[in-house]
Amino acid sequence: MLSSGMARQPTRRISNGAVRRAAKRQRSSNSRGMHLSAAEIGTRQVLQRRWAFDIVSGGQTLCDLSVSIFLRSHIPVPQFTAAIDQIIDMLTLQAVAYLVQTQQWLRLDSDLYDIPLQEYLQNREFRPRQHLRIDNIESDLHARKMTRFNLHQLRRIYDCFGLDDYCRSMNTDFIRVYTGHDNQRGVPCCYRFHPEELFLYSLTKIAKGNTSDDNVDHYFGGAYSRWCLGFPWFLYYVDERYKDILGFQGLQRRVAEFPRFQAAIESYLMRDRTYVDLENNETVVVDGLPQAPFPIIGLIDASLYQTCVCYSGPHGDYANAPRRPEYALFQRAIFTGWKKRHGMKILTIYLPDGTSYVFGPNSMRRNDNYQLTWSGLDEFVDNIQLHLRPNDRGNFLGDLIFSGALARIRSYYRALPGNPLTPFERRVNQALKSMRQPIEKNYAMNSCVMKICADKNAFKLAKNNNYCVELLRIVHLMINIYICFNGDQGSSVNTFGLTPQRLEDYLRL
């Protein structure tokens, strides 16, 4: 029996902890057999294989026994009859043995995986609500483990998000989230969240990537359903509040810093990159350029985030149920034949100080050029630099898919048929590719720091309460906040030697 205050446990047998047997579609994700340990899965496979072997062998033995009885009755030869009698006796004993073994396997399987009714119906204890606040967190180490930020940083982020101001504007001390139901008097039913508690829960879920049940069991406690409504509310609130900062329109606030970005990138391109081995011998890996081939103020790329397949479940709760009728259309809408995946794509502008600005996410079906066309980024970047001289206007560097008739999006030199690249052009391409590594590593940091990006089950489209788009944007916002505190982490060092904005300046409305 669980002690008071422990987390609620899935439906398992008390004696051995084995999960209850039921149809997969009738069970919640925290009690399915597919989540058994390797040892439990192996045990069940052995039971089922032995059970199947004894059933098949017993059936074959019964067939042989019936054939022997038939031959004994139709061939009345004394010598043959005596031999057949021995065979019949042996087959009878063998069939009985297989029957007994099958019953034993069935009984053992039932003892392990069939939960008695009294165990299934007994109440299971759960963790009571903890009413967690920033000041209640034990230490900076515990805060970093939960949210990736220490206590002082959490307080600064919370003040910038303005949740207290929102509550004061609503003349209340709590955030009220409508449940979708009304009471008997017609008054809407709402869950009440303290702003700090909802703030901590949302950051913990994004940082750790755990399910709502795990976060409730380990940290926050209370009913599971309330947090399933509170987390989307927080995402919608923050996304609406900072949409003009996180989107490409946020670049307007950084135009004055474009010359600084250009100088930092040009300085990087002009440096020799050397490799030092264990014997302290230096080898030049990439030769520095005499000057940048064109003004570069940032990097552009697109990243893929895998999602679950829409409408892939059965259309009906019965055996051999077909897929939902929307399945074929929706799975094509988010499927890319290039990567053989279903998901979303987000277009990102990466600045040399480590912060990024995004467009999307959109369907993974279309390539990066479609995303660039939809965003209107090329024309937008050109317009926000119209007050500068033509030679001072910067460009964003992308890979070869972005090459074309673009004003402010540039790429590497491309070899054409009959016109190969010159040695200098190959040298420039090598330097530019080395310079583009931070944006790729920034994408990797998203999944390493904010674990929710590493699990496709966190992104489920075609739901009644779908928040995948907002969730991905908030992840990029939290990564920018993380970089404001820790500096450019894109390549594990400060690649371009620039310091990011202060948090209050970045989140200033």
243: tokens are 């949409």
pLDDT for 106: 81
Write out pLDDT tens, residues 366-391: 889 889 999 999 999 999 999 888 88
pLDDT for 152: 96
CA distance 161 to 173: 16
More confident residue, 20 or 348: 348
pLDDT for 3: 36
The length of the chain, given as a count of residues? 509
**Cα 165 from chain centre:** 32
Q: Write down the pTM of the prediction.
A: 0.76
Give the residue from 446, 440, 437 showing the smallest Cα distance to 483.
446
In the predicted structure, residue 177 carries a pLDDT above the cut 90: yes
pLDDT confidence tier of residue 480, bands split at 50, 70 and 90: very high
Stretch 94-116: mean pLDDT = 82
Stretch 182-188: mean pLDDT = 87
More confident residue, 276 or 210: 210
392 sits in which H/E element: none
Concatenated DSSP letters for 265-328? HHHHHTSPEEEE-TT--EEEEEPPPSS-SS-EEEEEEEEEEE-PPTT-SBSSSSTTPPBPTTHH
Exposed / middle / buried, residue 279 (Cβ in 10 Å: 0-12, 13-18, 19+): exposed
pLDDT confidence tier of residue 490, bands split at 50, 70 and 90: low
Stretch 397-401: mean pLDDT = 91
In the predicted structure, residue 200 carries a pLDDT above the cut 90: yes
pLDDT for 22: 57
CA distance 322 to 94: 42
Task: Report the chain's mean pLDDT, rounded to a whole number.
Answer: 84
pLDDT for 16: 63
pLDDT confidence tier of residue 10, bands split at 50, 70 and 90: very low
In the predicted structure, residue 13 carries a pLDDT above the cut 80: no
Give the residue from 268, 305, 331 showing the smallest Cα distance to 496.
268
pLDDT confidence tier of residue 457, bands split at 50, 70 and 90: confident
On whether the CB atoms of residues 213 and 224 are closer than 8 A, the answer is: yes
List the single range of 18-22, 56-60, 398-402 with lowest mean pLDDT: 18-22
Exposed / middle / buried, residue 491 (Cβ in 10 Å: 0-12, 13-18, 19+): middle
In the predicted structure, residue 35 carries a pLDDT above the cut 60: no
On whether the CB atoms of residues 188 and 178 are closer than 8 A, the answer is: yes
CA distance 309 to 354: 33
On whether the CB atoms of residues 453 and 208 are closer than 8 A, the answer is: no
Give the residue from 169, 434, 445 showing the smallest Cα distance to 288.
434
Stretch 173-194: mean pLDDT = 90
Bridge partners, 299 (sequence order): 350, 397
pLDDT for 52: 86
**Cα 366 from chain centre:** 21
On whether the CB atoms of residues 283 and 277 are closer than 8 A, the answer is: yes
Instruction: Map 227-269 to HEC letters.
Output: HHHHHHHHHHHHHHHCHHHHEHHHHHHHHHHHHHHHHHHHHHH
What are the Cα distances from residue 302, in Å, to 347, 359, 367, 372, 402?
4, 9, 9, 9, 11
Write out pLDDT tens, residues 263-320: 999 999 998 878 778 888 888 777 788 888 999 999 999 999 988 888 887 887 777 7
Q: Provide CB contacts within 8 A for 2, sequence distance 6+.
A: 9, 124, 125
Q: Determine how many CB atoms are found less than 10 A away from the CB of residue 421.
A: 15
Percent of the chain with pLDDT over 90: 38
Q: Determine how many CB atoms are found less than 10 A away from the CB of residue 20.
A: 16
In the predicted structure, residue 31 carries a pLDDT above the cut 70: no
Concatenated DSSP letters for 36-94? S-HHHHHHHHHHHHHHHHHHHHHHHHHHHHHHHHHHHHH---HHHHHHHHHHHHHHHHH
Give the residue from 4, 3, 34, 39 showing the smallest Cα distance to 19.
34
Helix 437-449 vs helix 423-435: crossing angle, to nearest 10:
20
More confident residue, 455 or 236: 236
CA distance 256 to 252: 9
In the predicted structure, residue 11 carries a pLDDT above the cut 70: no
Stretch 488-502: mean pLDDT = 74
More confident residue, 321 or 295: 295
Exposed / middle / buried, residue 313 (Cβ in 10 Å: 0-12, 13-18, 19+): middle
pLDDT confidence tier of residue 29, bands split at 50, 70 and 90: very low
Where in 84-196 does DSSP place strands (E)?
175-182, 188-193
More confident residue, 98 or 77: 98
Stretch 450-464: mean pLDDT = 84
Bridge partners, 296 (sequence order): 395
pLDDT confidence tier of residue 2, bands split at 50, 70 and 90: very low
Stretch 222-243: mean pLDDT = 91
Stretch 446-472: mean pLDDT = 86
Q: Determine how many CB atoms are found less than 10 A away from the CB of residue 64.
A: 16
Stretch 78-103: mean pLDDT = 86
Stretch 110-128: mean pLDDT = 64
pLDDT confidence tier of residue 193, bands split at 50, 70 and 90: very high
pLDDT for 166: 95
